[in-house]
Structure 1
């Protein structure tokens, strides 16, 4: 009796699954989640389970069995799959949304989900094949403040259902999506908290496209809010900004966002006349800065869990190294 080797068994199983997913052609349309016919949906879920399993194990050969010929031919996908695999290892992922589509157009088509309120979205994509399937995954732990989305797009080729693309990108920052962060930025701008508005808008832009096809229906223009806040900062402040309330007169030259395990929070960079080698003196000066930072940059330390400070010996210019001392401050 002929013995089937493991790879032969996997290939045989893949062929059976591909055959099970063959169906009669329907009229163009899209079916979301439980609207997808039960048997077909079960088969798609088997593909998803295999994909997540292979991503976590890092087995490129097994993932290769799922890929389309075009995807296999594009060597840049090796790095992309590695990145998605690293994301898959950071949390337990589950299906968030899925769509089975019969495309009307070859060049571009659109799926809309209008049921998510401010987070409603559309997927705009090229109809590379007549039948396609999208699987969108998010971490099971919904309390995770920073969340990455994994998106798999499959297509039915003449040789069966295969993975056409795979991507990962940021979905939530500090527990908020891009439209939610945009709302924060707009409120801050209305309250004339220009620095904090710019930082919130910057975070909104950072998670505005959690996959390659995603577009929020409420197309909040975070870029416009970012620009308005930036212009307001230049109008109301002159950088480097001297902190006159502190006797040593440190000078703020840059603000930004910085990440730790709890989320993204403001970071303030400033020059100091205090010797960086004397860390106790730097910390003492920083205590004085913290007392007045919200007066100088309104809202910047409000409703934040952390803030970061970087005291520099001089203004960084070019690629030269500047001595600095970094501090993390827990606010609540």
Structure 2
């Protein structure tokens, strides 16, 4: 969850009868209603920004930023750009929404509200540094996890400069938090707590793609449900716990949603980590144990073997400490 904001200042001056005048038209223009010349200028800058980020060209990105943003970023700009380029190796992007707003004064709190008429509606809150502000919301394409690049430009004299730049997870396998939330509600109402919880974990990853400046209108509703379902899951499932249905008594210590990109396994599936007393070098015995776990898994977690086409398992001899990678052996349960 991160943020990008763009402020645009556009002024038209002309002389009539030897008198100097200026445009005092204020308002907000959205997407196709935005002046085509202004839109084209920003589109060119957005392309430069996107290319600069994805190629790790710090100088090119820095040249687009306002002096204030450069000062605020200090020495963090390099690491932010490098991390983003590594995490989101995108070749292209699309414009989610654009807003061009003209105020009568500068340096004021401001808000943009989308009007899509559905749960995807959001509110953008920011400081309008300039009288004219241009906001571009850019979404990368064709990635397992696509990001939202929130950019807010302001016009300084004749030049557009970025006042706010934020990058955060927007969708997973092209599904937004609203879609995962809807799925979670259905699973929860059907009594499938584990899969509902995994879907809400995905919601929590996507719910603030533009940081605290970007808020979905149903954010409070999703947040309340997330807290509720996590509390219920923690109360019902005490990890690690021994699988008494399997004679070797393996211990499940984690279950989480895992994004898979391989052909035949593309999707988000449960990943179950468990501790086994069988040495990882004994693949035959490990496989036999895992087969028993697979037979029991639907009895342990209602719906898990009905809601998923695959379940992934990782067997460990020691529970990982979360700091260093631990040796493990993997299995896939193909359900359909």
Q: Do these two structures clear the TM 0.5 threshold for a shared fold by scoring above it?
A: yes
CA distance in 2, matches of 1:26, 1:189: 53
SS of the residue aligned with 1:183? helix
Counterpart position of 1:292: 296
Q: Give 1:206 shift.
A: 0.3
1:194–1:230 Cα contact (<8 Å) kept: no
Counterpart position of 1:131: 132
Counterpart position of 1:210: 209
Counterpart position of 1:49: 47
- Stretch of structure 1 that moved more, 271-280 or 297-306: 297-306
What per-residue deviation string (whole Å, max 9, x for no partner) do you get for residues 159-189 of structure 1? 6310112222111123321122112222222
What is the 5 A alignment of 1:52-131?
A: 52-73=50-71, 74-75=73-74, 76-86=76-86, 89-103=89-103, 106-115=107-116, 117-131=118-132
Relative to the length of structure 1, the TM-score reads 0.82
Q: Give 1:87 shift.
A: 5.6
Q: Give 1:200 shift.
A: 1.0
Distance change >3 Å, CA 56–CA 252, structure 1 → 2 = closer
Q: Return the structure number with greater strand share.
A: 2
Q: Which consecutive residues of structure 2, in runs of 5 or more, have no partner in the other structure?
A: 1-7, 13-21
Structure having greater relative contact order (Cα 8 Å, sep ≥ 6): 2
Q: Which consecutive residues of structure 1, in runs of 5 or more, have no partner in the other structure?
A: 1-18
Is 1:251 the equivalent of 2:234? no
- Stretch of structure 1 that moved more, 183-192 or 88-97: 88-97
Is 1:277 the equivalent of 2:285? no
Distance change >3 Å, CA 306–CA 166, structure 1 → 2 = farther
1:269–1:309 Cα contact (<8 Å) kept: yes
2:125–2:214 Cα contact (<8 Å) kept: yes
Distance change >3 Å, CA 331–CA 173, structure 1 → 2 = farther
CA distance in 2, matches of 1:167, 1:305: 35
SS of the residue aligned with 1:118? coil
1:118–1:179 Cα contact (<8 Å) kept: yes
Distance change >3 Å, CA 286–CA 25, structure 1 → 2 = farther
What is the 5 A alignment of 1:216-235?
A: 216-235=216-235
Relative to the length of structure 2, the TM-score reads 0.81
